Amino acid sequence: MTAAFLAVAFGPILFGAVFVASTVTAVDRSRATERLAVAAAAARTSIDALCQQLRAAADAVALTADHRGAATQVVGRGLAAAVQVTDVTGQIIVATPNAPPAPWRDCGDHARPTGPVAALAVRVELHDISGAALGTVTAAQPVDPMLVARLAAVTGVAVTLLDGAAPTLTVAHSTESDGGAEAVLAAASALREEGVTSTPDGRYLRRVGPAPGQPLPLVLSVPSDQPPGLYPVLIAVVLLAALLGVAVAWRLARVTTRPLVELAGAVDRVAAGDLTARVPVRSGDEIGRLAEAFNRMTRETGGYLAALASSRDQLRGHLAVLGDTLASTHDLQRILRVILHSALAATGARAGAVLLTEPGGMLVAQCTEGLDEYWAGTGTPQVPLGSSVVGAVAATGQPCRGRMETAAASPGEPRCGTYIAVPFAAPEAGRTADSRCGEEGAASARPLGVLALYDRLGGEEFDDDDLATLQTFAGHVAVAVDNVRVHEEAQRLSLTDPLTGLWNYRYLRESLRREVERANRFGRMVSVLVLDLDRFKKINDTYGHAAGDTVLAEFARRVRGEIREVDLAFRQGGEEFVVLLPETDARGATIVAERLGAATRNTPVAVLGHAGVQESIGFTVSIGIAVYPDHAETGLRVLEAADEALYAAKSAGRDTWRVAQDTSRITDPGDGGTGVRAAHAAPPTREMPVSAVTSSPIDGLPRAGPVDATGAPAERDESA
């Protein structure tokens, strides 16, 4: 029974010893790797400082007229071991004594050297006052055992300088012993740059350089911190435990088995990805130390992974912001949601809002998140430029962050504790990243809007990193929002006439179709007026095309002044215009035609003639009128009917209007009895009378079809 229990107990003990050995080895390697990383950074810094010192020495000699005296002073002060001045042909004209032998390796050269390096050097171009090249100034410092020893003292590890290129590497200088240097050389031959390896004698190596600012091929080495004789000690502990197990079997079952079970469970959880697993430390023996080492390892690993995950998530968030913003360039609301969500995720804010600058000097919140319980105002928040925090940010173009007292919150701002606000435009000049509200700074261009975040998680104030993060993608946000507005403006320009500002023929077809469909659905009428300026070619020929353009623009302005807001005016081309009058019958259309004719003929237009003299031009307009559905069953047919009526008005002597003939009710004797008037029948020579109805529908709007015994449509509402 005792032997059986010993066999059962001995297995976990042996496993624990092996695990301890592997853990200690892993921890030892991890510590050595960290130490070598710190030493590598220190070595780079030291060599870079030496190179900067040499550069300063070379610059001092180059900037002095007395190159020889300056070189002697530089060497005398210990800034460089040697200074050489050469002319443009490479001939040495000044050289200090006791210069190190060649070859000299330039500090900016990071290619792997193929031979020994005798000195580090920095070369500076020498120019005269006019900028012409005179030669070079070179300052050098020998690479000798003293330099390697200084590097070893700075880094706290052994330093070995290599010569040549793989596989013919040799040791130039080393602070290792002779045997240690040979072991380092053997291991470094197969070691890649910036890699870490170990030697059979228990050393860890790291290869550093050459790299920009550090041109020397170095190998850093540290001895292992693993206790000597670890494995014999572990074996002795296992054997002793096995011998004592017979006497204290029941004690070992409680003291040893339980911690191992807990350790095994924690290991399984860590292997499954749960880095929060911890092993209770119940004693100070090997199992307890193992638990402490395991807990420390999981904590450190969890911290590293958390930092990596945070950096990864932040990078993904920023990439998602850019990707979604560019993909949603024409969807402003989606862009604003992406901006706000990305900002909240990047800074850990509880709430935020995106405010855009609107005409009239107001900031209007277009998108909000988490502000239901924060916002102090009612409805959509609007903040005047220059008022409160976000108004000041928009007015000055300067970012702002800080803490706000609840009682001091301005109207239109949430009751918050901390805030940060960044404009959607990079300022041209101004404050630094730690800018606070109330400081003076150079104003930038007026931004498109402001991103404001409130109440960071944990109650901490927003810091400079948050400000820098928001400023990083604020420029991309401004471009995206500006693209949306440019796209909307381009759409508007594609549907308007650039000279008159009226809608163009492309929008006429769409509007006519839409109004006819609406009239057909609700049983209404739509009147179409086709207008043509009389003898406009004579105006162009007499006064010039610039004067003609002035007349067209003024006529368009007068048309807009005589129609309702629901009416639509178009420039069909040249001097021909079209006006759509929704829910208007023929009577109402004739009233509008009379107004347009009077507004045209009664007031001349002042223009500049060919000689630059201001003249007054009187002009008139002829108008053709057609009504849906009285004169045609489709929008294009109505437009054609109005055009035919325009020809009738022209034939009647111009400066008048005509209503299209109802072709379904007029019979032409020459049509063979079809009951339809020919398309180009002689037009009437006088204005057609239009009867008015004696009563209107309840809603006051004209209806399609006859509304009284005479068949006259409803009268246009004069108050419209």
| DSSP sequence for 198-245 | E-TTSEEEEEE--BTTB-S-EEEEEE--SPTTHHHHHHHHHHHHHHHH
Of residues 472 and 315, which shows the higher confidence score? 472
- Tell me the pLDDT band of 24, cut-offs 50, 70 and 90: confident
Beta bridge partners of 92: 86
Instruction: Please state whether the peptide bond connecting residue 217 to the residue before it is cis, i.e. omega within 30 degrees of 0.
Output: no
Is 583 within 8 Å of 704 (Cβ atoms)? no
DSSP string, 320-363: HHHHHHHHTTT-HHHHHHHHHHHHHHHHTEEEEEEEEEETTTEE
Instruction: Evaluate if residue 701 carries a pLDDT over 80.
Output: no
The token duo for 649 is: 């008005």
pTM over cut 0.95: no
Indicate the range of 1-10, 106-115, 262-271, 614-623 predicted with least confidence.
1-10
Residue type present at position 586: A
- Of the residues 176, 286, 413, 575, which is catalytic? 575
Residue 411 confidence (pLDDT): 58
Residue range 505-671 forms a domain whose CATH class is alpha beta
Give, in order, the Cα–Cα distances in Å from 482 to each of 320, 336, 362, 478: 19, 12, 18, 6
Is 600 within 8 Å of 619 (Cβ atoms)? yes
Fold match flag (328-484 vs 505-671): no
Q: Is 575 a catalytic residue?
A: yes
Chain mean pLDDT for the chain: 77
- Dist CA 256 CA 244 (whole Å): 12
Q: In what helix (H) or strand (E) does residue 141 lie, and over which residues does it extend? A: strand 133-142
Burial letters 345-373, b for 16+ CB under 10 A, else e: bbbebbbbbbbbbeeeebbebbbbbbbee
Indicate the range of 214-228, 412-426, 611-625 predicted with least confidence.
412-426
Of residues 243 and 400, which shows the higher confidence score? 400
Fold of the domain built from segment(s) 328-484:
Beta-Lactamase (3.30.450)
pLDDT tens-digit profile of 463-503? Answer: 887 888 777 766 666 777 777 777 777 777 777 888 888 99
- Tell me the pLDDT band of 266, cut-offs 50, 70 and 90: confident
- Dist CA 85 CA 98 (whole Å): 15
Of residues 315 and 264, which shows the higher confidence score? 264
- Tell me the pLDDT band of 557, cut-offs 50, 70 and 90: very high
For the chain, domain boundaries:
49-101+123-139, 328-484, 505-671
pLDDT tens-digit profile of 188-232? Answer: 777 776 678 887 777 888 888 788 777 888 888 888 877 766 667
